[in-house]
Structure 1
Amino acid sequence: MSGKNLDLKNDNNILSINSPKTSIGGPYKVVYKDLNERWAIVAMDWNREPCLGMRWFWGNGGNPFSSGNPTWLVIPNSLSNSILNGLPLDFKFHYRVIEFLAGKINGSQL
């Protein structure tokens, strides 16, 4: 269950998506989620590098979906600041996410 029937109120449901397992570390923390439009942004590692991932939770499987598994769209680092600045995040949490993306803290410290 990774589409319209996934309960987005529980962050653990969102964080349980970890495909492809060989490339993803985490995801560690839900950075932001929109319950009405059914999308989420998470802090995760991609090939051992900190990054943000995004996913839509609609239809049968949500998007992106690959080889029968729900996956994350990796947000390029060059777009991360713009995306974070556009979200209504608490300042302290926003700063922690920036520290994570800069490699100053790891995912478990978010």
Structure 2
Amino acid sequence: MAGQTFDLTDDNKILSLRSPKASISGPYKVVFKNIEERWAIVAIDWDGEPRLAIRWFWGNGGNPFSSGNPTWLVIPSSLSNATLNGLPLDFKLYSKLVDFLAGKITGDQIYI
């Protein structure tokens, strides 16, 4: 499951969580993860729009969790810049994420 025993050291495992499938494309990139506090932020497309999403990996299934599946909580676009500014990101990644959220590049172009 995607709770307390989920391996947060493996970005590929984090990126393999793709629910709800009807609305999400990606996730493309783990933006930041806090292994000690057990949460991660990723870059996704939500209904075709670039967004950030967050998930907590604790307890039996983590949060959010819906219909037996681990899901992502989409961060409202109006909070995206504040979220990025609160993270200790290197400038190159930060710049790519700003371009992604502005629709200047696709999720596949975030990798640096």
- TM-score (norm. length: structure 2): 0.97
Deviation of 1:27 after TM superposition, in Å, equals 0.4
Counterpart for residue 38 of structure 1:
38
Matched, 1:61 2:68: no
Counterpart for residue 96 of structure 1:
96
Counterpart for residue 47 of structure 1:
47
Give secondary structure in 2 for the equivalent of 1:95.
helix
Inter-partner Cα distance in structure 2 for 1:84 and 1:108: 19
Give secondary structure in 2 for the equivalent of 1:36.
coil
Inter-partner Cα distance in structure 1 for 2:71 and 2:11: 16
Tell me the matched-pair count: 110
Inter-partner Cα distance in structure 2 for 1:22 and 1:73: 14
- Show CA shifts across 1:59-103 (max 9, x none): 010000001100000000000000100000001100100000001
Inter-partner Cα distance in structure 1 for 2:51 and 2:62: 21
Identity of aligned residues (%): 69
Unaligned runs of 5+ in 1: none
Inter-partner Cα distance in structure 2 for 1:47 and 1:5: 30
Inter-partner Cα distance in structure 1 for 2:6 and 2:82: 28
RMSD: 0.5
Unaligned runs of 5+ in 2: none
Deviation of 1:30 after TM superposition, in Å, equals 0.2
